[in-house]
Amino acid sequence: MNNIEEIKTLNPYQQEAVLDESPACLVNANVGSGKTTVLIEKVRHLHEKKQVSYEKMVVLTFTNKAADEIAERLSRKEAELTEEELWGFGTFHSVALRILRRFLPEKAEDGTKLEEWNREFTVITPEDEMEMVLAIAKEGGYKIKYQNRLKKRMEEDYAAYRKGRTQGKYKDDLFQIFPLLEKAKRQQNKMSFADLLEEGTQVAKEQEEVLDLKWIIVDEVQDSDEKQLEFLEALKGTRTHFFAVGDPNQVIYSWRGTGPNMFFLIKHRFGAKELTLPVNYRSDEVILEAANRFLQFGGKIEGSGERGEKILVRNHYDPFIEAEYLTERIRELHEQGLPYREIAVFYRVQKQAEILEKVFERAELPYVLPAKQKEDEDPVPERPHMIREYVAEGKLNAVSGEHTMEKAADIERQTEEEDAVHLMTLHASKGLEFDYVFIVGMNQGLIPLRCKSIEQEEEERRLFFVGLTRARKNLELSYYTNPTIPGTYETPSNYLRMLPEELLDWEEKPGSESRKANLQKLRKDTRELIREKKQEEEEQKETRKPERKGRHPKYGEGEIISEDEMMIELEFPGYGKKQFLKAFGEVEVLKGL
């Protein structure tokens, strides 16, 4: 089917976006509204009908998956497409990398070392950059406080240094090291991911006439930060058209430097005409009606599917009981014919995955996880866009050797094709969709997290909106009577109250007489257990030694901080406090210590 025939199959909103030729156009695309189809048909229309060559287009995405999907769909129509033609199709960092590989000076033939980067530079990870900082500090006798937090400090302080700040809040020598780091990276021909965008922006400005771009097309533009916006402005020549799609209701990465106003800032900055894609083709009506309660920008999401089943709301005593239930329910769904890969479990913080993983492993239930954080980091949301780009931007100075974009894409594809349940944070779920979605931990203080500002509260709502709209057909929400995540209340999330009653199928409503009686008895029993435990601790004080130790196969020896019938908590040097389920026997309590 040629492009003209394909356009006829689109709805009127999609057709208008594809055919628009404004100097700048911003499409406010509701979740599940077919924006990828619009992007691809836009590119085909420009190429086939308007005779714009692919080399004169830059098509930017935030994940390799999205970039691959666009390239793959185009290749289906034109089998002879080459990588050279599609040089401008990719993530922000990968396109910046290709510009630098093309326009930076060549390596000196006589082997002379220059004080600036050449086109054979190596891309280094944040860990590599941190090692360079530590090496400079050691060689020069510089003092760095809180080295165990250096990675996080680098993220915050290095950005502040680049904006002109001369001292950080810890008042050590880190800011004196930064100019030496800049010089060392140039001498060693190494670039960080921040360097890619910064240098790519500068080179794009210098090479505007040579690049001579006709169109810039951007996916998920609402996730752009200031540096990416500067890159877009550098690419856009005086005769370059700008077309972008995005959804301000899905801004969930404020810690990356973006915000809910970025969509409207870009509209203002480029003087863009605004179009909409209001029709959702993904989710059933019940799910969309629930999602509309959390919509912050734009009008109501219009549905195109069936009414669908009610949203199930369940109460579990604690995360362990919940995990046991999930294994049984997921196996039941699989036996009914639903592939494991069409099932996902979303949670708010990474720590919630620990019990799920252990219970799933014991039950031999197949599951996959997105790229995880290091074990010694606090449980914060993953950074899916950054992680995917880290592995995919060409050469990486990593322990495992140099990774290529193709290898990274293969890994991502294998994860998607594997028939396994997907476990991930709400942040990591963005851009994905599944037939059956479980959102666990729907307690106040967890979903949503405790917030210190209205902006944080609004982002928590958008994050829950993203989670809801990943489900095509079925959605199940659950909360705990006895949550184990610090800072979480025993009460169900206020978000459950915001959902219309007619959309929900409660296993047991909060406030029902039977539930009140059960909770009263539970509280009474809990208070009695606490009283007995305190009494037992008092009695054992004299006989118990002041310090008890345990051994874990991964973390080594640590001090036992607390334990009860179900859990044991230890503090490990270098890793901090960790909790373990006694049922799995991971901790060996050391005798006689």
Binding residues for ATP: 29-36
Listing DSSP states for 96-114 in one string gives HHHHHHHHSPPPPTT-PPP
* Helices and strands (H and E) in the chain: how many: 21, 22
3-state secondary structure of 372: coil
Q: Residue 123: in which H helix or E strand, if any?
A: strand 122-123
Residues contributing to the annotated binding site: 29-36
Peptide bond just before 381 cis, omega within 30 deg: no
Helices 384-392 and 64-77, axial angle in degrees (round to 10): 60
Beta bridge pairs of residue 439: 346, 477
Task: Read off the tokens for 217.
Answer: 């097309």
Rounded Cα–Cα distance for residues 40 and 51 (Å)? 15
Phi-psi region of 502 (alpha: psi -120 to 50; beta: other; left: phi over 0): alpha
What is the distance between the alpha carbons of residues 299 and 216, in angstroms, rounded to a whole number? 27
Work out whether the CA dihedral 17, 18, 19, 20 comes out positive or negative. Answer: positive
Q: In the block, which residue shows the tokens 């020069």?
A: 140
Tell me which residue has tokens 């006694």. 582
Q: Are 348 and 486 in contact (CB under 8 A)?
A: no
Identify which of 566, 422, 425 has the alpha carbon closest to the alpha carbon of residue 484: 566
Taking Cα atoms as reference points, which of 476, 439, 474 lies closest to residue 342?
A: 474
Task: Kindly state the helix (H) or strand (E) to which residue 276 belongs, with its residue range.
Answer: strand 273-277
